[in-house]
Structure 1
Amino acid sequence: MKLQALFEKNIKINFPFLIGEKLLIACSGGLDSVVLTHLMKQLECEIALAHCNFSLRGKESDGDEMFVIGLAKSLEIPVFAETFDTKKFAEEHKISTQMAARDLRYNWFAEILKDFKYDYLLTAHHLDDDLETFFINLTRGTGLNGLTGIPKENNKIIRPLLKFSRQEILQYAETNNFKWREDSSNQKTDYLRNKLRLEVLPKFKETNESILKNFQKTQQNLQASQNLIDDYMGLVFKLVISGGSNSYKINIQKLKELPNTDALLYELLHGFGFTEWDDVSNLLDAQTGKMVFSKTHQLLKNRDELILTEISDENISEEFLVPKTGITSPINLKIETSKYIGETEKNLIYIASEKLKFPLKLRKWRSGDSFQPFGMKGKKKLSKFFKDEKIPLTEKEKIWLLLIDDQVVWVIGHRMDDRFKVTENTSEILKISYLKNN
């Protein structure tokens, strides 16, 4: 059966939701994306092309852009083209050129989907790409999920060519006399993927002509196993996880009661970017306060729990002025006069007005800060206060201070300073409320 018929069948069985939708095709001008464009055009779908010029190959990059624009014109479909200074972006963000190109590409695609109301993005990944990804993940060390390959669907990103080999795609293009662009950088072995594609996998395929067919079957078996794990992990999640939104708490005792504890911990946390798995596992028996970090998250051992939170980008050195009426950002503090002293709470205090001088200052707590906790005579460092109050490190990082000059008036949400309390000599009482939900 010809590729076109197989492709149409694949769409009807696996991607019927694409029919009748507005579709954006990521088109480099290379063989795969050109064939995908023609196949989708044959289905009479509403399509447009999106091309990224990464400015990495000089005139060749510009030639790719002009080719894609010409292809769109010949097929009478819309085209979007954008030029990026990829090397500059990579330097500014301290990432590789490959990662920079990927970030630029997908961020721009997302903007087009949103701004021009396209429903899905189609990419031209095929079976050989999937095999290369399998080997790349294998060399890096990965769990089962990393061996299941490139997903055919990932939210708005769809890969309808994934079950077809590059040879099938090439044969279809040559039969129909399609033109496409060859990327000269694909012939360089500087990158692992190119080295696999050009040197390793061709020899591997020579040992078995059915390697791609067998690989597909292996992928199906691996995915079935992953599905079983996902179903089981859904039950485990309900049993050992609490919290949500900003943080998760893992009950260590309940986790240890289950078989294969380390494997379960990996399945619970691998999606949060952790790589030092021995360190993660060691947290189960570590002292309170020990932490492990990924680029995006932190994992804290706090007594009988592991607490997972996203790393905040807030600048803890920033200070804000607080007038006598209060402040609404970055947190909401309401300041008003009061004729009497009500009951003091963690989020509500009463202060002697004459002891203050406005504007006050608001900032995050810092190492070395100290205050005189309400009801005490001597000073105490905040770090010691937090330890005595059994406040976990993840919560400490969120704590704000209200100050006059460098004196702490209130550890907001926890304890006011005794030196600013209302006495019988107080002439004006101020009520300060921390409004969390506003």
Structure 2
Amino acid sequence: MLPVKQFIDFIAHNKLFNANSKVLAAVSGGMDSVIMVNLLKAAGFSFGIAHCNFQLRGNESDSDEQFCRDLAQQLDVAFHNIRFDTLQHVTAHKVSTQMAARQLRYNWFEQIRQQHGYTEIALAHHQNDAIETILLNLTRGTGIAGLHGILPKNGLLVRPLLFLKRDDIQQVIEQGNIAYAEDNSNSSVKYARNKIRHQVIPALKELNPALEQTFESNLKHFRELEQLLDIRIAQLRGELFIADNNDFHLPLAKIKTLEPKHLLLYNLLKPYGFNETAMNDLIASLDKHSGRVFEATDYKLILDRDKLILTPNKQQSNAQVSISLNDTEADYGSYKLNLLHDDSPLIVKNNPMAVSIDTKLLVYPLTLRAWQQGDSFYPLGMKTRKKLSDFFIDQKISLHDKSEVPLLVNGNGDIIWIGGYRPDDRYKVTADTKKVTIFELFKRI
């Protein structure tokens, strides 16, 4: 007898969908998905069937496809079907067969959902699938999120069978004499999940015959712990992340007081692509000299004197810009540089974003670039050379900001101007100057 009431109660309790929903049911033909669509039909929900033929088992794959087509006709619901060249996807994307099948089916499910107006995608996972997932995650390494197992609802993906164990489903199939398509690959221990299903879980059930009930209780605790952590992380993000244009500044003094430091830092920075290894390296560097940079794919963390700077990785396609004699402007990163040639020895004052340079000293082409280790110049008013790294320290320019400062470099390699800060004394306008070139920087907003 179909457990229709428990099915409806589970859907309502977990807010998976409602009477007005139009559900796309993913059906392989196995007994789990067959029970799911029979329950959907008996409960009166509107749904259609989606079946993927991965063409991995020859005639068996085609037979499963035909079974699902017949099942949809029997239940009088829409049938959506696709055939994938799974092995070609494996080769092209260098992933495992299982990962290829996962990527292909979920992408296609979403396409069908949008094209045909389905509101949710129903998957036939049950309690034993959740246990297998947790054990898999533990063997591969996981955080708290990997311990909550399979969630009843994850976005538009819903799992209305999570109230059932595999034995429950088997019993309903046998009592109702319900036909299904058996996938012989499910019995192979070649795949990690099947090895856990057929070898590990039976051994665990010898130790604890009520394994499913125990895991169900554990799952509840793990989900509550995850919710508690999420609340704490949201609170900390509001306290620690100080917005500065496109960057965030995190005060080091507060970072050092976090406990447990690794857990909190990892979850704070995980959304930006940083892994646990990066967090270990960061924590080990907190009490050392500033200057360390930790890279993720899209972001980097800069350990500055009194803060961590979280900033997007920027393309450096314009890291060096050449300026010819006839140019009147140049673009460099977030800056625009204007050039003006004047026949009078005009000196720009009280504007750090502009500078007057003796034209006769310029050697073209000039270059706009970022600073490099070893750079030095003669700051205006000084007759001795100074390293740029020391100049930046004196000016209290952060590690992140100094990489954004444009340097105007002469054709002979001399630094003419630290854009926005200080010109070189050797290129200043003097009483002997006949003609000046005025350079003015504008910061793009």
Short-chain TM bin: 0.7 to 0.9
Contact 2:22–2:45 (CA<8 Å) still a contact in 1? yes
- Is 1:204 equivalent to 2:204 in the alignment? yes
* CA distance in 2: counterparts of 1:413 and 1:107, whole angstroms: 49
Shift of 1:149: 1.7
Question: SS state of the match for residue 243, structure 1?
Answer: strand
| Conserved? CA contact 2:371–2:403, under 8 Å | no
The answer to whether the 8 A contact 1:413-1:434 is kept is: no
Q: CA deviation at 1:89?
A: 3.6
Per-residue CA deviation, residues 334-367 of structure 1 (Å, 9 max, x unaligned), is: 9698999797566x88999998999x999x8596
Q: Given the superposition, is the C-alpha separation of residues 396 and 274 from structure 1 closer, same or farther in structure 2, using an over 3 Å criterion?
A: farther
Given the alignment of the two structures, is residue 157 of structure 1 paired with residue 157 of structure 2, yes or no? yes
CA distance in structure 1 between the partners assigned to 2:416 and 2:28 by the alignment: 58
**Separation in structure 2 between the aligned mates of residue 319 and residue 53 of structure 1, nearest angstrom:** 52
TM-score (norm 1): 0.75
Deviation at 1:159, TM superposition (A): 1.8
Between the aligned partners of 2:196 and 2:26, the Cα distance in structure 1 is: 24
Unmatched runs of 5 consecutive residues or more in structure 1: none
Q: Tell me the equivalent position of 2:287.
A: 285
AA at the equivalent of 1:75: L
Deviation at residue 395 of structure 1 after TM alignment: 5.9
Q: Distance in 1 between matches of 2:81 and 2:287?
A: 54
Deviation at 1:316, TM superposition (A): 4.3
Mapped contact 1:133–1:150 kept (Cα < 8 A): yes
Deviation digits for residues 262-306 of structure 1, max 9, x if unmatched? 343244345545132532431322432224445565433222323
Percentage identity across paired residues of the two chains = 33
For residues 252 and 90 of structure 1, do their structure 2 counterparts lie closer, same or farther at Cα, with a shift above 3 Å needed? farther
Secondary structure at the counterpart of residue 285 of structure 1: coil
Give me the whole-angstrom Cα distance separating, in 2, the residues matched to 1:373 and 1:54: 69
Secondary structure in 1 matching 2:243: strand
Q: Is the 1:49–1:72 contact (alpha carbons within 8 Å) kept by the matching residues of 2?
A: yes
1:83–1:326 distance in 2 versus 1, CA, 3 Å: farther
> Residues 367, 257 of structure 1: CA spacing in aligned structure 2 closer, same or farther, 3 A cutoff?
closer
1:218 is aligned to 218
1:401-424, CA deviations, whole angstroms, 9 ceiling, x for partnerless residues? 899999899999866987999997
- CA distance in 2 between counterparts of 1:49 and 1:353 reads 76
Q: Secondary structure at the match of 2:107?
A: helix
Aligned counterparts of 1:414 and 1:93: Cα–Cα separation in 2: 47
Correspondences of 1:177-256 after superposition (within 5 Å): 177-243=177-243, 247-256=247-256
CA distance 1:366–1:244, change in 2 (3 Å): closer
From 302, 305, 308, the counterpart of 1:303: 305
Give 1:17-416 correspondences, 5 Å limit.
17-243=17-243, 247-271=247-271, 272-276=273-277, 277-294=279-296, 297-309=299-311, 314=315, 316=317, 333=336, 344=351
CA distance in 2, matches of 1:381, 1:84: 61
Aligned alpha-carbon RMSD (Å) = 4.6
CA distance in structure 2 between the partners assigned to 1:55 and 1:406 by the alignment: 66
In our comparison, the structure showing a higher alpha carbon Rg is: 2
Q: CA deviation at 1:229?
A: 3.1
Partner of 1:19: helix, strand, or coil?
A: coil
2:77 is paired with a residue whose SS is coil
Tell me: CA distance 1:289–1:5, structure 2 relative to 1, closer, same or farther (3 Å). Answer: same
What amino acid sits opposite 1:144 in the alignment? I
Aligned in 2, Cα 1:166/1:368: closer, same or farther, shift over 3 Å?
same
Match of 1:435 in 2: 444
Measure, in 2, the Cα distance between the counterparts of 1:15 and 1:253. Answer: 43
- Amino acid across the alignment from 1:225: L
Task: Specify whether residues 177 and 428 from structure 1 end up closer, same or farther in structure 2 by C-alpha distance, changes over 3 A only.
Answer: farther
The amino acid across from 2:235 in the alignment is: L
**Partner Cα separation in structure 2 for residue 112 and residue 353 of structure 1:** 67
How far apart, in 1, do the equivalents of 2:96 and 2:43 lie?
A: 38
Q: Deviations over 1:177-196 (max 9, x none)?
A: 43333333322323322210
Question: Quick check: 2:379–2:385 contact (8 Å CA) kept in 1?
Answer: no
Aligned length: 432
Q: State the one-letter code of the partner of 1:137.
A: N
TM-score by length of 2: 0.74
Listed as ranges, the matches of 1:411-426 within 5 Å are none
Check the 8 A contact 2:355/2:423 in 1, yes or no.
Answer: no
Q: Do the aligned residues in 2 keep the contact of 1:122 with 1:158 (CA within 8 Å)?
A: yes
Measured in 2, the distance between the counterparts of 1:350 and 1:76 equals 82
Distance 1:110 1:29 in 2: 20
Distance 2:40 2:122 in 1: 10
- Partner of 1:164: helix, strand, or coil? coil
Q: Return the alpha-carbon distance in structure 2 between the equivalents of residues 390 and 187 of structure 1.
A: 66
Aligned residue in 1 for 2:11: 11
Task: Single out whichever of 393-402 and 257-266 deviates more from structure 2.
Answer: 393-402
- Kept in 2: contact 1:52–1:82 (CA 8 A): yes
